[in-house]
Amino acid sequence: MKITPESDNMGEPWRRSNGTFRAHFKTKEEADLFAQDPANWPTYKGDVSHKCPECGWWHLSKIEWLAKPGDIIEIGGTYYRVEQDEYYGRAYRRVGLQAKLINV
């Protein structure tokens, strides 16, 4: 079942490959507060919240997991262009930019 961002209907949250539920939240604010709480580090430190188009819940993910080829991302103060690599899948090439594009 696909959930539109406007919908309040929530499906079952996504599960990890081991069958456990990923961290999931009803609102972006809940997700952001959870990620910013030092008690939840190092697992969620630096994660960004995003609304899942499949289940309708908010999840936390590393920005590099969400980036697509061509995006510019910031990891630890260094900017990288995400590229498609024929051997390794996604590759990150360092770039010298002063602004970051994080479109999630």
**Where do the structural domains in the chain lie, given as residue ranges?**
1-61, 67-95
In sequence order, the β-bridge partners of residue 22 are none
Residue pLDDT, tens place only, 34-93 = 999 999 998 898 888 988 888 889 999 888 788 888 888 777 777 888 888 776 666 667
Q: Give the integer Cα–Cα distance in Å for 47 and 59.
A: 9
- pLDDT reading at 5 higher than 70: no
DSSP string covering 47-80: -EEEE-TTT--EEEE-HHHH--TT-EEEETTEEE
Task: Answer with the residue of higher pLDDT: 9 or 57.
Answer: 57
State the pLDDT at residue 17: 85
